[in-house]
Amino acid sequence: MTTRPPEQALDAVILLAGGQGRRMGESTDKILQPIHGTPLFRYALDSFAAFPALHWIIIVHRDNSQKAAIEANLPAALANQPDRLRWATGGETRRDSVARGLQAVPREARLVFIHDLARPLVHPENLKELTRLALRDGAAGLAHRVTDTIKQVATPVKKPEHLHPADLERDRLWATETPQVFQRDLIQHAYRQLLEKNHAVTDDLAAGTALGHPISLLENPNPNPKLTTPRDLPYLSFLLKPQS
Answer for the pair 168, 63: CB distance below 8 angstroms, yes or no.
Answer: no
State the DSSP code for 243.
P
Residue 20's pLDDT is what? 58
Give Dmax (Cα) for the chain: 64
Q: Which domains does the chain have, with CATH numbers?
A: 11-239 (3.90.550.10)
Residue 138's pLDDT is what? 96
Answer for the pair 145, 217: CB distance below 8 angstroms, yes or no.
Answer: no
Residue 5's pLDDT is what? 42
Residue 90's Cβ-side half-sphere holds a number of Cα atoms within 13 Å equal to 21
Within the chain, where are the H helices?
A: 40-49, 64-71, 76-79, 94-103, 124-137, 184-197, 205-210, 233-239
Per-residue pLDDT tens over the stretch 213-227? 999 999 999 999 999
pLDDT tens-digit profile, the chain (244 residues) = 344 444 466 899 999 997 655 655 555 799 999 999 999 999 999 999 999 999 999 999 999 999 999 999 998 878 788 889 999 999 999 999 999 999 999 999 999 999 999 999 999 999 999 999 999 999 999 999 999 999 999 888 889 898 899 999 999 999 999 999 999 999 999 999 999 999 999 899 999 999 899 999 999 999 999 999 999 999 999 999 988 6
DSSP assignment string, 149-186: --EE-SS--SS--S--PEEP-GGG-EEEEEEEEEEHHH
Per-residue pLDDT tens over the stretch 163-185? 899 999 999 999 999 999 999 99
Residue 7's pLDDT is what? 46
* 3-state SS assignment for residue 42: helix
Rounded alpha-carbon distances, angstroms, from residue 146 to 8, 123, 159, 170, 223: 38, 21, 24, 6, 13
